[in-house]
Amino acid sequence: MTAVAEQREQSAAAVTSEPVPSVAAPLLVRKPWGLAFWVAVGWLVSVVVSTIVANLVDWKKEVDFLGTVDVTEGRWSKTISATHPFGLNFGGNDILVDLVRGAKNSLVIAAATVILGFLVGGTLGMVAGYFRGRVDTILSFFANVLLSVPPLLFILLMIAVLSSRGGTGEAQALSSSVGKVSLALGILSIPQIFRVVRASTIQFSQREFVMAARAMGAKVPRILWGDILPNVAKPMLAYGLVSAGAVMVIEGGLSFLGVGVGSGTDTTAWGKQISAASQRADLERAPMVAFIPGLALFLTVLAFNYIGDKARERLENKQAAL
């Protein structure tokens, strides 16, 4: 009989789906994430680590900034050496060093933007999605207005507004800092996040467990915090990662235009490095100088997108399964 009992247990466990015990459970299921996923994670981790390390180490002493061969004389490949594994750029700087320095700003901006966007956009989205009615109409209208403005133009305007004041008759060149760019991008991302969170909240508010909480007399903040937020947060995680990637692209574009981070000589960003290289007439002789930072940007965005996508797949699968 025990054999039969065992059989029963086996069949019961395998066929019927296990109830999901906690919010994070889908992410912890044993199914392997895949090699590509871990490679992406590895790349991001190494980028982050390298910026942290670079901050701590004062490399000006360690690394020989100016190489021995000037790129303009020969091809880029000639500038590669043991101390300069990626060679030198047109200004004579080590490309790898520049990459690491540029990474920091891009990552910080991406993180700050996403955080700002979620804090403001997410909260407003939950409020609008839960209460509906007049609040929702007003908030949605503003969101739509903001979304109707071409993003790049809006950012330019914002950065112009935030640009350093002072000076007299001259038209000020647009300059900015990490803070300004993050603020501008953050404000721009608010309506998009607002929309997504709102839709998700509406969906969840109609589920029974929210009605049950209300029937039990739970107060609104508690419902929002305890019931809706955990459920809405799951798909938001994936969305946040993908957003981070998108923000990096826009930020790259901004610094490419010269509007991004770094009017000072000490700050740099990948976009700026790309634009500096691409504006030279002899770019054709050493295109890699522009493409290495471009590749770095591409890989990082790709990593964000991939991880976000995989996470979303995971979470969606479990929800849609049965």
Partner 1 sequence: MLKYILRRFAMVIPVLVAVTMLCTAMLSLLPGDAAAVALGVNATPELLAEKRHEFGLDRPFPVRYAKWAGNAVRGDFGTSWKYDGVQVIDLVKQSFPVSVTLAILCVLLSLLIAIPLGVYSAYRVGGRLDRAINTFAFGTLSVPGFVAGLAVLLLFSALFKRVGDDGTVSNIFLRDYVPFFDNPIRCLQSLFAPAVAVSISQSAGFLRIIRTDMATTLQDDFVLMAKSKGMSDRYILARHAFRPSSFTLMTVVGVAVGQLLGNLLIIEGIFTLNGLGGKVFQAINDRDYPVTLGVVCIITVVFVLTTTVIDVLYGVVDPRVRFARKLA
Partner 2 sequence: MALLEVTDLVTHFKTDRGIVQAVNGVSFSLDRGQTLGIVGESGSGKSVLSRSIMNLLPRRGVIRSGEVVFDGKVTSTMSSKESRKLYGPGMAMIFQDPMTSLNPVVKIGRQLTEGLTQHFDVKKSVARETAEELLRSVGIPEPKRRLSEYPFQLSGGMRQRVVIASALACGPQMLFADEPTTALDVTVQKTILNLLARQQRERDMAMILVTHDLGVVAGRTDEIMVMYAGMVVEKANTTDLFANMRHPYTEALLKSIPKLSDPSHTRLESIPGRPPNLIAPPTGCRFAPRCTYADDWCHKELPPLAEDPESPGHFFRCWNPVSVTAVKIASKPETADASAASAPAGAN
119 is a contact residue toward partner 1 (CB under 8 A): no
- Residue 58 binds which entry of partner 2, partner 1, none, with Cβ cut-offs from 5 to 8 Å by kind? none
CA Rg value for the chain = 25
16 is a contact residue toward partner 2 (CB under 8 A): yes
Whether 290 contacts 283, CB under 8 Å: yes
CA 208 – CA 180 distance, rounded (Å): 43
Name the residue nearer to partner 2 (CB basis): 10 or 46: 10
162: nearest Cα among 147, 172, 150? 172
Q: Which 130-189 positions form the footprint of partner 1 (CB under 8 A)?
A: 141-142, 144-145, 148-153, 156-158, 160-161, 163-174
11 is a contact residue toward partner 2 (CB under 8 A): yes
Which of 138, 211, 287, 313 touches partner 1 (CB under 8 A)? 287
Q: Would you give the DSSP letter of residue 171?
A: P
4 is a contact residue toward partner 2 (CB under 8 A): yes
245 is a contact residue toward partner 1 (CB under 8 A): yes
Name the residue nearer to partner 1 (CB basis): 20 or 295: 295
How many CA within 13 A on the CB side of residue 251? Answer: 40
- Residue 274 binds which entry of partner 1, partner 2, none, with Cβ cut-offs from 5 to 8 Å by kind? partner 1
291 is a contact residue toward partner 1 (CB under 8 A): yes
SS3 content of the chain, % helix, strand, coil (to 5): 75, 0, 25
Name the residue nearer to partner 2 (CB basis): 29 or 138: 29
| 88 SS3 class | strand
- Residue 133 binds which entry of partner 2, partner 1, none, with Cβ cut-offs from 5 to 8 Å by kind? none
Distances (CA, A) of 178 to 9, 41, 122, 151, 174: 58, 25, 22, 18, 13
- Residue 281 binds which entry of partner 1, partner 2, none, with Cβ cut-offs from 5 to 8 Å by kind? none
Which of 256, 268, 289, 307 touches partner 1 (CB under 8 A)? 256
Residue with tokens 């010269």: 258
Which of 236, 297, 307, 311 touches partner 1 (CB under 8 A)? 297
What residue type is assigned to position 232 of the chain? Answer: V
Tokens of 62: 């360690």
Contacts 24+ apart (CB under 8 A), 60-67: 63/94, 63/97, 64/94, 65/92, 65/93, 65/94, 65/97, 66/92, 66/93, 67/92, 67/94
- Residue 8 binds which entry of partner 1, partner 2, none, with Cβ cut-offs from 5 to 8 Å by kind? partner 2
- Residue 165 binds which entry of partner 1, partner 2, none, with Cβ cut-offs from 5 to 8 Å by kind? partner 1
In sequence order, the 6+-apart residues with CB closer than 8 A to the CB of 100 are: 50, 51, 54
322 is a contact residue toward partner 2 (CB under 8 A): no
Q: Which stretch binds partner 2 (CB under 8 A): 5-13, 33-41, 107-115, 170-178?
A: 5-13
92 is a contact residue toward partner 1 (CB under 8 A): no
Residues, the chain, total? 322
CA 157 – CA 261 distance, rounded (Å): 15
Binding mask 196-235 for partner 1 (x = CB under 8 A): ----------------------------------------
Footprint of partner 2 on this chain (CB under 8 A)?
3-4, 7-8, 10-12, 14-16
